[in-house]
């Protein structure tokens, strides 16, 4: 099964990932931080926009590495994939959270650790399910193309 994805598919993959996460995170953050849903919702939307762009870039680079190095997406590779993705997000999102919420970088980092505790398994599960569904959808098309 080909790991190469079109820009359109990458966009769909990222948007589905972010939309599902938004539905979970905005209300959870509002409740946990005792903030208005509009305030945490705006922050979550900013996080989502940044994460969507990072998702597309990171996954394109990861796919390129997979083609070049020839590895299979086993569970350990998927965990590494998710961990590297989240480390990149820490660098991008902690300063924004500190500014938006009026908290220190340390407090924003701790908040981000909490988000990682959600997103790390969510990222692994989402990508695994996406890849399984993609393979099921593309297998009949690829079989027809070979015949």
Give the pTM. Answer: 0.66
Name which of 21, 145, 35, 9 is nearest 100 in CA terms: 35
How far CA 78 is from CA of 20, 51, 121, in Å, comes to: 19, 18, 10
Q: How high is the pLDDT of residue 62?
A: 94
Q: How high is the pLDDT of residue 1?
A: 46
Q: How high is the pLDDT of residue 3?
A: 61
Q: Where are the domains of the chain?
A: 7-146
One pLDDT digit (tens) per residue for the chain, 147 residues: 456 788 898 888 988 888 888 988 999 999 999 999 999 999 999 998 898 889 889 999 999 999 999 999 999 999 999 889 888 989 999 999 999 999 999 999 999 999 888 988 998 999 999 999 999 988 777 777 777
């Amino acid at each position: 099964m080909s790991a190469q994805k079109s820009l359109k598919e990458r966009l769909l993959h990222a948007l589905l990932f972010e939309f599902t996460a938004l539905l979970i995170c905005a209300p959870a953050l509002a409740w946990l931080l005792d903030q208005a849903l509009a305030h945490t919702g705006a922050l979550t939307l900013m996080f989502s926009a940044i994460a969507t762009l990072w998702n597309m870039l990171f996954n394109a680079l990861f796919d390129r590495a997979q083609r070049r190095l020839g590895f299979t997406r086993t569970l350990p590779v998927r965990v590494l994939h998710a961990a590297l993705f989240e480390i990149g997000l820490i660098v991008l999102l902690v300063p924004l959270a500190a500014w938006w919420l009026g908290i220190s970088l340390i407090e924003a980092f701790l908040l981000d650790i909490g988000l990682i505790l959600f997103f790390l398994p969510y990222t692994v599960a989402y990508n695994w399910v996406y890849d399984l569904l993609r393979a099921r959808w593309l297998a009949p098309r690829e079989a027809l193309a070979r015949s």
